[in-house]
């Protein structure tokens, strides 16, 4: 995941298959500075649907399924298959939910 925004973000991954399961854990996130790229190894189950969520603290902008995993996103989910997947978080001036 790469943070191409101008904001420091907190990122998480949410299982859509196992209710309430998330990485790095409940009430936790991985901080990401502007321009930072990070690799995350998730202990997901093969076939599990995983969506990312990210938000800028004290701002309204969010990406993916958001800070608590309850928002709609068009292209923020993958199926756990042991492969490598990349997500680019970008600003578009209006607080994208992508």
- pLDDT per residue as tens digits for the range 53-62: 999 998 888 9
pTM, full prediction: 0.88
The confidence band for 26, taking pLDDT boundaries of 50, 70 and 90, is confident
3-state helix, strand, coil in the chain (%, to 5): 0, 30, 70
Tell me the two tokens of residue 69: 């995993």
Please state the domain count of the chain.
1
- pLDDT per residue as tens digits for the range 36-49: 999 999 999 999 99
Q: Is residue 98 part of a domain?
A: no
Range of the domain at 24: 1-90
Residue 77, beta-bridge partner list: 51
State the Cα–Cα distance between residues 36 and 57, nearest whole angstrom: 16
pLDDT at 81: 94
């Amino acid at each position: 995941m790469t943070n191409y925004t101008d904001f420091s973000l907190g990122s998480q991954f949410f299982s859509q298959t196992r209710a309430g399961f998330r990485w790095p854990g409940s009430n936790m996130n991985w901080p990401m500075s502007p321009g930072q790229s990070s690799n995350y190894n998730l202990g997901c189950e093969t076939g599990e649907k995983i969506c990312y969520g990210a938000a800028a603290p004290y701002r309204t902008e969010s990406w993916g399924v958001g800070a608590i995993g309850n928002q709609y996103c068009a292209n923020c989910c993958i199926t756990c298959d042991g492969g490598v997947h990349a997500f680019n978080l970008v600003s578009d001036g209006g607080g994208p939910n992508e």
